[in-house]
Protein backbone atom coordinates (compact mmCIF):
# COMPACT_ATOMS: atom_id res chain seq x y z
CA UNK A 1 0.00 0.00 0.00
CA UNK A 2 1.47 3.32 -1.13
CA UNK A 3 0.62 5.94 1.51
CA UNK A 4 1.42 8.69 -1.01
CA UNK A 5 -1.55 7.88 -3.23
CA UNK A 6 -4.06 10.67 -3.77
CA UNK A 7 -6.84 9.04 -1.78
CA UNK A 8 -9.14 12.05 -2.06
CA UNK A 9 -9.24 11.62 -5.85
CA UNK A 10 -9.41 7.81 -5.74
CA UNK A 11 -12.25 7.77 -3.22
CA UNK A 12 -14.19 10.14 -5.43
CA UNK A 13 -13.68 8.23 -8.69
CA UNK A 14 -13.55 4.48 -8.01
CA UNK A 15 -16.68 2.32 -8.41
CA UNK A 16 -18.05 1.01 -5.12
CA UNK A 17 -16.63 -2.57 -5.25
CA UNK A 18 -13.12 -1.31 -6.00
CA UNK A 19 -13.52 1.41 -3.38
CA UNK A 20 -14.41 -1.11 -0.67
CA UNK A 21 -11.38 -3.18 -1.65
CA UNK A 22 -9.11 -0.15 -1.49
CA UNK A 23 -10.55 0.90 1.86
CA UNK A 24 -9.81 -2.56 3.29
CA UNK A 25 -6.22 -2.27 2.07
CA UNK A 26 -5.95 1.17 3.67
CA UNK A 27 -7.17 -0.24 6.98
CA UNK A 28 -4.95 -3.34 6.83
CA UNK A 29 -1.91 -1.11 6.26
CA UNK A 30 -3.12 1.41 8.89
CA UNK A 31 -2.71 4.28 6.45
CA UNK A 32 -3.55 7.66 7.97
CA UNK A 33 -6.04 9.64 5.89
CA UNK A 34 -6.75 13.35 6.06
CA UNK A 35 -10.29 14.54 6.78
CA UNK A 36 -10.88 15.67 3.18
CA UNK A 37 -10.22 12.14 1.94
CA UNK A 38 -12.48 10.64 4.59
CA UNK A 39 -15.32 12.93 3.55
CA UNK A 40 -15.20 11.48 0.01
CA UNK A 41 -16.43 8.17 1.43
CA UNK A 42 -20.12 7.42 1.83
CA UNK A 43 -21.72 7.06 5.25
CA UNK A 44 -21.22 3.30 5.50
CA UNK A 45 -17.56 3.49 4.56
CA UNK A 46 -16.88 6.34 6.97
CA UNK A 47 -18.58 4.36 9.72
CA UNK A 48 -16.50 1.29 8.91
CA UNK A 49 -13.36 3.41 9.02
CA UNK A 50 -14.26 4.90 12.40
CA UNK A 51 -14.57 1.42 13.89
CA UNK A 52 -10.78 1.17 13.60
CA UNK A 53 -8.81 2.10 16.72
CA UNK A 54 -5.86 3.56 14.79
CA UNK A 55 -7.99 6.09 12.89
CA UNK A 56 -7.74 9.51 14.55
CA UNK A 57 -9.40 12.13 12.27
CA UNK A 58 -10.81 13.86 15.35
CA UNK A 59 -12.87 16.50 13.55
CA UNK A 60 -14.30 14.04 11.02
CA UNK A 61 -15.27 11.73 13.88
CA UNK A 62 -17.03 14.56 15.69
CA UNK A 63 -18.99 15.58 12.59
CA UNK A 64 -20.05 12.00 11.96
CA UNK A 65 -21.07 11.30 15.57
CA UNK A 66 -23.10 14.51 15.75
CA UNK A 67 -25.15 13.75 12.64
CA UNK A 68 -28.50 12.01 13.33
CA UNK A 69 -28.64 10.76 9.74
CA UNK A 70 -26.10 8.02 10.52
CA UNK A 71 -26.86 4.70 12.21
CA UNK A 72 -26.57 4.98 15.97
CA UNK A 73 -23.97 2.25 16.44
CA UNK A 74 -21.70 3.87 13.86
CA UNK A 75 -22.14 7.29 15.49
CA UNK A 76 -21.16 5.67 18.77
CA UNK A 77 -18.12 4.07 17.14
CA UNK A 78 -17.02 7.43 15.77
CA UNK A 79 -17.48 9.30 19.04
CA UNK A 80 -16.08 6.70 21.41
CA UNK A 81 -12.52 6.74 20.04
CA UNK A 82 -9.86 9.41 19.56
CA UNK A 83 -12.14 12.35 20.28
CA UNK A 84 -11.63 15.39 22.51
CA UNK A 85 -12.96 18.93 22.37
CA UNK A 86 -12.35 22.40 23.67
CA UNK A 87 -15.19 24.15 25.48
CA UNK A 88 -16.35 25.98 22.37
CA UNK A 89 -16.69 22.73 20.43
CA UNK A 90 -18.44 21.03 23.34
CA UNK A 91 -20.85 23.95 23.68
CA UNK A 92 -22.34 22.91 20.34
CA UNK A 93 -23.31 19.59 21.94
CA UNK A 94 -24.69 21.32 25.00
CA UNK A 95 -26.79 23.69 22.91
CA UNK A 96 -28.13 20.86 20.76
CA UNK A 97 -29.35 19.30 24.03
CA UNK A 98 -29.75 15.84 22.52
CA UNK A 99 -29.06 12.94 24.93
CA UNK A 100 -28.49 10.50 22.05
CA UNK A 101 -25.76 12.66 20.51
CA UNK A 102 -24.13 13.29 23.89
CA UNK A 103 -24.16 9.55 24.61
CA UNK A 104 -22.20 8.92 21.40
CA UNK A 105 -19.19 10.56 23.10
CA UNK A 106 -19.71 9.04 26.54
CA UNK A 107 -17.32 6.11 26.14
CA UNK A 108 -14.30 8.11 24.96
CA UNK A 109 -11.67 8.32 27.70
CA UNK A 110 -9.87 11.08 25.78
CA UNK A 111 -12.77 13.47 26.32
CA UNK A 112 -12.07 16.12 28.94
CA UNK A 113 -13.32 15.08 32.39
CA UNK A 114 -15.65 18.06 32.85
CA UNK A 115 -17.26 17.31 29.48
CA UNK A 116 -17.85 13.71 30.53
CA UNK A 117 -19.24 14.96 33.84
CA UNK A 118 -21.76 17.09 31.96
CA UNK A 119 -22.76 14.12 29.79
CA UNK A 120 -23.16 11.99 32.92
CA UNK A 121 -25.40 14.64 34.46
CA UNK A 122 -27.47 15.15 31.31
CA UNK A 123 -28.06 11.44 30.80
CA UNK A 124 -29.04 11.14 34.45
CA UNK A 125 -31.78 13.78 34.25
CA UNK A 126 -32.77 13.20 30.63
CA UNK A 127 -31.91 9.62 29.60
CA UNK A 128 -32.22 8.34 26.06
CA UNK A 129 -33.94 5.05 25.22
CA UNK A 130 -31.28 3.44 23.04
CA UNK A 131 -29.86 0.34 24.74
CA UNK A 132 -26.81 0.37 22.47
CA UNK A 133 -25.60 3.72 23.80
CA UNK A 134 -23.90 4.62 27.06
CA UNK A 135 -26.05 5.43 30.07
CA UNK A 136 -25.28 7.92 32.82
CA UNK A 137 -23.71 5.06 34.80
CA UNK A 138 -21.55 4.04 31.83
CA UNK A 139 -20.42 7.64 31.47
CA UNK A 140 -19.43 7.74 35.14
CA UNK A 141 -17.11 4.78 34.53
CA UNK A 142 -15.54 6.56 31.56
CA UNK A 143 -15.13 9.68 33.68
CA UNK A 144 -13.26 7.77 36.37
CA UNK A 145 -10.91 6.34 33.76
CA UNK A 146 -10.40 9.78 32.20
CA UNK A 147 -9.53 11.24 35.61
CA UNK A 148 -7.03 8.46 36.25
CA UNK A 149 -5.37 9.13 32.91
CA UNK A 150 -5.65 12.92 32.67
CA UNK A 151 -5.51 13.82 36.34
CA UNK A 152 -7.43 16.37 38.31
CA UNK A 153 -8.12 19.50 36.27
CA UNK A 154 -9.04 23.07 37.04
CA UNK A 155 -12.02 22.81 34.70
CA UNK A 156 -13.31 19.76 36.55
CA UNK A 157 -13.04 21.62 39.85
CA UNK A 158 -15.07 24.49 38.37
CA UNK A 159 -17.68 22.07 37.08
CA UNK A 160 -18.01 20.42 40.48
CA UNK A 161 -18.43 23.83 42.07
CA UNK A 162 -21.13 24.75 39.55
CA UNK A 163 -22.92 21.49 40.26
CA UNK A 164 -22.72 22.11 44.02
CA UNK A 165 -24.16 25.60 43.57
CA UNK A 166 -27.10 24.23 41.57
CA UNK A 167 -27.69 21.17 43.75
CA UNK A 168 -31.39 20.55 44.15
CA UNK A 169 -32.27 22.67 41.14
CA UNK A 170 -34.71 21.13 38.68
CA UNK A 171 -33.76 23.49 35.88
CA UNK A 172 -32.46 22.72 32.41
CA UNK A 173 -29.18 20.79 32.36
CA UNK A 174 -27.75 23.59 30.25
CA UNK A 175 -27.93 25.84 33.31
CA UNK A 176 -25.15 23.70 34.79
CA UNK A 177 -22.94 24.35 31.77
CA UNK A 178 -23.67 28.07 31.97
CA UNK A 179 -22.78 28.00 35.66
CA UNK A 180 -19.45 26.40 34.79
CA UNK A 181 -18.79 29.07 32.14
CA UNK A 182 -19.64 31.83 34.61
CA UNK A 183 -17.09 30.45 37.07
CA UNK A 184 -14.53 30.04 34.31
CA UNK A 185 -14.82 33.74 33.53
CA UNK A 186 -14.28 34.80 37.15
CA UNK A 187 -10.86 35.72 38.51
CA UNK A 188 -8.92 32.75 39.86
CA UNK A 189 -8.51 34.12 43.41
CA UNK A 190 -12.26 34.43 43.88
CA UNK A 191 -12.89 30.98 42.45
CA UNK A 192 -10.27 29.37 44.71
CA UNK A 193 -11.96 30.96 47.72
CA UNK A 194 -15.30 29.56 46.57
CA UNK A 195 -13.76 26.12 46.08
CA UNK A 196 -12.27 26.14 49.56
CA UNK A 197 -15.56 27.29 51.06
CA UNK A 198 -17.31 24.42 49.28
CA UNK A 199 -14.65 21.92 50.42
CA UNK A 200 -13.68 21.04 46.86
CA UNK A 201 -10.28 20.46 45.29
CA UNK A 202 -8.60 23.40 43.59
CA UNK A 203 -7.33 21.36 40.69
CA UNK A 204 -4.19 19.75 42.04
CA UNK A 205 -2.85 16.51 40.54
CA UNK A 206 -4.53 13.20 41.23
CA UNK A 207 -4.22 11.89 44.80
CA UNK A 208 -2.87 15.16 46.20
CA UNK A 209 -4.64 17.70 48.37
CA UNK A 210 -4.07 20.69 50.56
CA UNK A 211 -5.50 21.11 54.02
CA UNK A 212 -8.98 19.69 54.22
CA UNK A 213 -9.76 20.03 50.52
CA UNK A 214 -11.19 16.85 49.05
CA UNK A 215 -10.29 15.19 45.79
CA UNK A 216 -12.85 15.93 43.10
CA UNK A 217 -13.09 12.27 42.21
Q: What is the pLDDT along the chain (217 residues), one digit of tens a residue?
A: 655 577 878 888 889 999 999 999 999 999 999 999 999 999 999 999 999 999 999 999 999 999 999 999 999 999 999 999 999 999 999 999 999 999 999 999 999 999 999 999 999 999 999 999 999 999 999 999 999 999 989 999 999 999 988 876 667 899 999 999 999 998 888 888 888 877 765 554 433 333 333 333 3
Tell whether 112 is covered by a domain.
no
Find out whether 37 and 26 touch, Cβ atoms under 8 Å. no
Tell whether 44 is covered by a domain.
yes
Tell whether 111 is covered by a domain.
no
Tell whether 145 is covered by a domain.
no
Tell whether 210 is covered by a domain.
no
Q: CA torsion, points 105, 106, 107, 111, in degrees to nearest 10? A: 70
Tell whether 140 is covered by a domain.
no
pLDDT at residue number 197? 79
Tell whether 59 is covered by a domain.
yes
How many structural domains does the chain have? 1
pTM for the structure as a whole: 0.85
Tell me if residue 19 falls in helix, strand or coil.
Answer: helix
Domain that includes residue 40, residue range: 1-70
Residue 8: other Cβ atoms inside 10 A: 16
Tell whether 152 is covered by a domain.
no
pLDDT at residue number 168? 64
CB-side exposure of 113: number of CA atoms within 13 Å?
22
Amino acid sequence: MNANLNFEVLFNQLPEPELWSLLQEVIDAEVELDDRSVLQLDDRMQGFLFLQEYVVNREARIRFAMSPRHMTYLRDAAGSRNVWMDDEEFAALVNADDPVTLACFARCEQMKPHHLAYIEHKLGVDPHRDEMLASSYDTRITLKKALEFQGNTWEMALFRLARTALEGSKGDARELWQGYLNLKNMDEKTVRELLLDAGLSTGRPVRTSAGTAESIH
